[in-house]
């Protein structure tokens, strides 16, 4: 999973990126300090892995990972090359979802590029730039497709779809608001890699004083939550500065610090949970002496396709999946004890994998 972190300059975007990836992207109180997109890979915290590793005495533990791309602060006119412009919009195209950091705190020492704090205005500024960029993409595609549409039924249908999307964008709406007429149209829209089709999670960046009640008393946060509800986006509350401090602590110190703040989880934990929920993701597990590992898949994935995440041969030669619930395996103390109790199930090609399933795939190529 790859997430692109975007936002106006000085909203806490690079501070957040630094803290969750410890990748050291430069952070400063002026626009465009991130000259190249910074990339960091973060392990998804999963206590199940540690317990299975101990159970099997595994030589290695491999968590699921999320790749974060810190994209330079966008400004009005980015789609036309203002600021650092199109090169950063191109980086967003490669991401599975957008984490949009929105400033929800007052601080006279931190310059706001628009001169005042207004999260909805900021959101709409960036949304507009993404729409403009998509319109530019569509206009080029329409020009090419129109030439072929006279003699090609597929091109004619594609042209109708392109023009329908263009109309929606010109109304100031995201391409994600379009309901595809059929599966073929849905696939075609996906193939366009439009920025406004990507799922969005708003990171409401607040001061320390708003963390304990999860931003409930912060008017800016409430406005972002209402906007997210109306547009089908995710939202979570974070303090980029606090995350920066947490990033320097070990696990025990981190737990103690979170407790003093009245929090049970870090902003990174919230972000990962929000990302998995928004994208409909979950993890299944594999375990043994050599390796214990988490694999990220879409909810609703069937056993052969889950096996294909490990290796294409596993999917191609799939015979069956030997499945046990993670907690049942721990309670039994070993796979052999679980087999004796009849808790290891043999599942076929139609089995839909569940979160926390521990699986051994049988295959023959």
**Parallel, antiparallel, or unpaired for β 200-205 and 97-103?**
parallel
Q: How would you list the strands of the sheet with 281-286, edge to edge?
A: 60-62, 291-298, 281-286, 357-363, 318-325, 345-347
Nearest to 21 by CA among 67, 62, 52: 67
Query: What DSSP assignment string belongs to 176-197?
Result: GG---SSHHHHHHHHHTT-GGG
List the chain pLDDT tens, one digit each, 365 residues. 889 888 887 788 888 888 877 654 444 443 334 445 577 888 888 899 999 999 999 999 999 888 888 876 555 554 455 444 455 666 778 889 999 999 998 877 665 666 678 999 999 988 988 898 899 889 999 999 998 888 888 889 999 999 999 999 999 999 999 999 999 999 999 999 899 999 999 999 998 888 888 899 999 999 999 999 999 999 999 998 888 888 888 878 988 988 888 888 888 888 888 889 989 999 999 999 999 999 999 999 999 999 999 999 999 999 999 999 999 999 999 999 999 999 999 999 999 999 999 999 999 98
- End-to-end distance of the chain based on CA atoms, in angstroms? 29
Rounded Cα gap, residues 334 and 288, in angstroms: 11
CA–CA separation, 270 and 203 (whole Å): 10
Q: Which letter does DSSP use for residue 271 in this model?
A: H
Structural element, H or E, at residue 349: none
């Amino acid at each position: 999973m790859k997430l692109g972190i975007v936002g106006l300059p000085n909203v806490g975007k690079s501070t957040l990126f630094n803290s969750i990836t410890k990748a050291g992207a430069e952070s400063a109180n002026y626009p465009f300090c991130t000259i190249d997109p910074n990339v960091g890979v973060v392990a998804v915290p999963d206590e199940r892995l540690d317990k299975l590793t101990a159970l099997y005495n595994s030589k290695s533990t491999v968590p699921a990972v999320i790749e974060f791309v810190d994209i330079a602060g966008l400004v009005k006119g980015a789609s036309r090359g203002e600021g650092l412009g199109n090169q950063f919009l191109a980086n967003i195209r490669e991401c599975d979802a957008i984490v949009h950091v929105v400033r929800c705190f007052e601080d006279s020492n931190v310059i706001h590029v628009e001169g005042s704090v207004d999260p909805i205005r900021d959101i709409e500024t960036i949304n507009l730039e993404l729409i403009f960029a998509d319109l530019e993409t569509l206009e080029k595609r329409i020009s090419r497709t129109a030439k072929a549409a006279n003699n090609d039924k597929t091109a004619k249908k594609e042209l109708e779809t392109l023009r329908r999307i263009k109309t929606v964008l010109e109304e100031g709406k995201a391409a994600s608001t379009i309901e595809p007429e059929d599966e073929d149209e849905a696939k075609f829209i996906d193939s366009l890699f439009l920025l406004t089709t990507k799922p969005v999670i708003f990171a409401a960046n607040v001061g320390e004083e708003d963390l304990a009640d999860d931003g409930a008393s912060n008017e800016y946060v409430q406005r972002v939550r209402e906007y997210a509800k109306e547009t089908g986006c995710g939202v979570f509350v974070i303090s980029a500065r606090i995350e920066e401090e947490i990033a320097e602590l070990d696990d025990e110190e981190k737990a103690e610090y979170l407790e003093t703040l009245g929090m049970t989880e870090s902003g990174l934990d919230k972000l990962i949970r929000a990302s998995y929920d928004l994208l409909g993701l979950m993890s299944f597990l594999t375990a043994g002496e050599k390796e214990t590992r988490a694999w990220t898949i879409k909810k609703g994935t069937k056993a052969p396709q889950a096996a294909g995440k490990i290796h294409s041969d596993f999917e191609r030669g799939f015979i069956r999946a030997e499945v046990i619930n993670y907690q049942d395996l721990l309670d039994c103390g070993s796979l052999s004890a679980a087999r004796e109790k009849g808790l290891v199930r043999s599942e076929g090609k139609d089995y839909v994998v569940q979160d926390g399933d521990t699986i051994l795939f049988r295959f023959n190529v």
